[in-house]
């Protein structure tokens, strides 16, 4: 492996020793609880709703009028 990835065998041995010594930490779950995940999801859905409202608002309040010279202007609906 050292030759394949051009690393020192000493470095690979050290990494292996460190991993074996700390392998428990690599597989422990430190993620959110189900309650925290639910709160975060709810907040994100609320934000999505607010952003959708911001996007929809201009299309409702402003229309586009085409003139016969292929020019357009914005006008209130």
pLDDT over 80 (residue 70): no
For residue 15, what are its two tokens?
């990494």
pLDDT tens-place string over residues 4-32: 889 899 999 999 999 999 888 877 777 77
pLDDT over 60 (residue 41): yes
Can you give the pLDDT at residue 60?
A: 52
Residue 75: beta bridge partners?
63
Integer Cα distance of 77 and 71 in angstroms: 18
Instruction: Specify the DSSP class assigned to residue 69.
Output: T
């Amino acid at each position: 492996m050292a030759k394949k990835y051009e690393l020192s065998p000493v470095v690979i041995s050290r990494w292996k020793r460190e991993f074996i010594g700390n392998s428990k930490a690599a597989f422990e779950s430190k993620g959110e609880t189900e309650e925290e995940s639910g709160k975060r999801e709810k907040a994100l859905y609320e934000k999505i709703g607010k952003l959708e409202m911001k996007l929809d608002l201009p299309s409702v309040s402003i229309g586009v009028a085409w003139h016969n010279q292929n020019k357009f202007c914005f006008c209130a609906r």
